A and B are shown apart, each in its own frame.
Chain A
Amino acid sequence: MMRRTKTNVTRRQLLAGAAAGAAIGTLGFPAVLRAQVPSVKVGILHPVTGAISYSGTQSRAGALIAIEEINAAGGIKALGGAKIEPLLADAQSRPDVGAAEIEKLNEAGAVAVIGPYASAIAIATTAAAAKHNLPHLVDVGVADQVVTRGLTNTFRFAPGLAKTVETAINNLVKLNEAAGKPVKTVMIIHEESAFGSGMASTLNAELPKHGFEIVETIKHANPTRDFSNIVLRVQARKPDLIIPSNYYNEYVLFARALRQQRVQTKGIYSILGGGASSYKFVKEFPDAAAYVMDCNHWFDPRKAQALALKDKVEKQGLFFTYEVFLNYCNVYLLADALERAASTKREDIIAALASSTWDKHIMPYGPTKFVNGQNEGAQPVNTQVLDNDIKVIFPLEFASANAVFPVPERKG
């Protein structure tokens, strides 16, 4: 009988049933849908293709890990548990593309943008975002112009170039004095773009004031295929200290050439060095990386949350680079602002960021304090490659190891 009833369902009855089902679908379920909190759209803008795509990819990974964590922990509670929805954008390693992506993100309803790694791109994207009063958190972009143009929508959590160079020089002076002033002569090897050249001219102006003699400054192109000649000149000049300022590929070739030619100095002291604070460099060339010092963005090794994140990132098969943890922090900084603003209006988020005193980050900074968009609490730290690991050696309150300086003479 049952079977018969079933088989007797006519096409008309089936259609009627389907229509009823559809009616329930449109009338009954919208109540549930209406109860859902709309997500908070955040632009995650990085150069994931083009010349600096490695850094862009690392940056995006850091931001996505933080978003996943925040969403898993219940989203933005002040907004009824709204989830953060990342709007992924690619600046293609070009400032003009970065600025165009800002327009798209604005139209897509982003409440804020995080990115875009490089200074040149950041200068373009922050200006484009300012036109729409779109809050823009700059993750790295160390050039000082990023925050000195009076853009009220721009916030940089990490330190800028001037602060980093100043800290690097101060720490070098302290290190040298503590070791009995073994370093008197310095040689600077830098890449030729704004980053390396700007650094070199600042060092040439500042280091002599602290009693260091700069015996030679060598500029090199990107890419440089061979560092043999530069190393020959280093050997001829015999400086006590080498200060390299270049991107990762050239940094690695230079450090390898120094080691190949058995160059003995009292130290290699990088500032925002491409390879000196890279677990990748340490893992792949432990011999060339040994004892190299750097003044760079780095996490606070005493914080359990930082070490847990490092573990998590490494389990994903990624290296724990500063791009990862700075973007991770920026997402949490924005989440904190959203919680306090309890609003997705851009002016409210900007006001919340401007008054931010967030301290639950993994960096060796104090609570955030933004002055003209720059986090005044941010500072770089000095690291050194010791025992095939990267240790913080300065400032002492964050140090995880004592500096080995001057470095011991190496045989073979």
Chain B
Amino acid sequence: MLELTILLPALINGLTLGAVYALVALGLTLIYGVLHIINFAHGSLLMAALYGVFFLNTGLGIDPYAAIVVMVPALFAAGYVLQRSVIGKASHGKDQNVLLVTLGIAIVIENLALALFSADTRTIDTPYAFEMVDLGIAFVPLPRVIAFIAALAVTAVLWFIIARTDLGRAIRAVAKERQGARLVGIDVDHIFAMSFGIGTACLGAAACLLLPTFYVSPGVGHVFVLIAFTVVVLGGMGSFVGALVGGFIIGVTESLGGLLLGESLGQIGIFLIFIAILLLRPTGLFGSRLS
């Protein structure tokens, strides 16, 4: 079963799958890694974003990729408001409260979706859903190639925001020393909400890139959220490059693991790597550079 004709396409599949994982994990690494908010609502917000893309497509005929211009600002606003008016206020600055508040938000969003949209699984059909790109060694679905390129682009944009802008400097300052940041005049609550907003906006982009090849249902967030946490810890908390590389490693591990050990057993590889990283390099692959 290890002919090169299977191994190479499997490797490419793993990379494109990893790009999708990275897209979901990028927002989480900002929220979880930089602000140390364990956001259990990340999966539910992804689900809400997927429904947004779905209804924009079926209701208004907007292409999922074009929907990025609507979904990214919409999710940013949702994230900002959520942090400022719910999570920030209800948590009283305690991490264990944040944990429960985000878990509560996740339950509310999921059950709202269940009540509003029923448990039905929904998909969209696009003219390019079955388009393939011939890479010589493998055929890759076009939406996967687009997601791969987009993951690189989103990583670059996030890196630029954090490393080169005043907002980024403020976010890093708040992450390192909240009290000190407040003393030099940074509006910490605003920066928290901005970070949460940007992290949630990433989900808006991820949803637009995911829906052409995936489905949406009220429980779809669970499919990705555990993997996203693994990617964040693997890549190093708060590191965007880490999230991207972590996504690729997890994607390739899942793909090759499935090939060698069978599709059910193959996922063991993900968690073996996860445990190995925790034992040998607890800060993650790129963790020490940015933390």
Listed in ascending order, the chain A residues whose CB lies under 8 Å from chain B are 49, 51-54, 56-57, 192, 218-221, 223-226, 228-230, 232-233, 236, 248-249, 252-253, 256, 259-262, 284-285, 287
Shortest beta-carbon contacts, A-B, top 10: A53-B119, A220-B263, A228-B13, A54-B119, A229-B258, A221-B264, A219-B264, A192-B264, A223-B223, A226-B17
Q: A192-B264, A220-B263, A236-B3 are in contact. Are A249 and B130 (CB under 8 A)?
A: no
Can you identify 12 A-B contacts, CB atoms within 8 angstroms? Answer: A53-B119, A54-B120, A54-B121, A54-B217, A219-B263, A225-B214, A228-B9, A229-B255, A229-B263, A236-B5, A249-B121, A285-B125
Q: A49-B114, A228-B13 are in contact. Are A233 and B6 (CB under 8 A)?
A: yes
Chain B residue numbers with a CB within 8 Å of A233 are 1, 6, 259
Distance from A217 Cβ to chain B, minimum over Cβ atoms (Å): 10
CB atoms of B17 and A260 under 8 A apart: no
Chain A residue numbers with a CB within 8 Å of B17 are 225-226, 228
Please tell me which one of the listed residues A56, A218, A252 contacts residue B263 in the complex, with CB atoms under 8 A apart: A218
Identify which of B130, B213, B219 gathers the most chain A CB atoms within 10 Å of its CB: B130
Q: A229-B255, A260-B132 are in contact. Are A219 and B9 (CB under 8 A)?
A: no
CB atoms of A249 and B13 under 8 A apart: no
Name B244-266 residues within 8 Å CB distance of A. 254-255, 258-259, 262-264
Chain B residue numbers with a CB within 8 Å of A51 are 219
CB atoms of A284 and B114 under 8 A apart: no
CB atoms of A221 and B6 under 8 A apart: no
CB atoms of A54 and B6 under 8 A apart: no
Listed in ascending order, the chain B residues whose CB lies under 8 Å from chain A are 1, 3, 5-6, 9-10, 13, 17, 20, 114, 118-121, 123, 125, 129-130, 132, 139, 141, 213-215, 217, 219, 223-224, 254-255, 258-259, 262-264, 267
Chain B residue numbers with a CB within 8 Å of A219 are 262-264
Chain B residue numbers with a CB within 8 Å of A192 are 264
Bound-state CA distance A54–B223 (Å) is: 17
Chain B residue numbers with a CB within 8 Å of A256 are 129-130, 213
Chain B residue numbers with a CB within 8 Å of A226 are 13, 17, 254-255
Chain B residue numbers with a CB within 8 Å of A228 are 9-10, 13, 17, 255
Q: A232-B10, A236-B3 are in contact. Are A221 and B263 (CB under 8 A)?
A: yes
Bound-state CA distance A49–B264 (Å) is: 26
Chain B residue numbers with a CB within 8 Å of A236 are 1, 3, 5-6
Chain B residue numbers with a CB within 8 Å of A54 are 118-121, 217
Chain A residue numbers with a CB within 8 Å of B1 are 233, 236
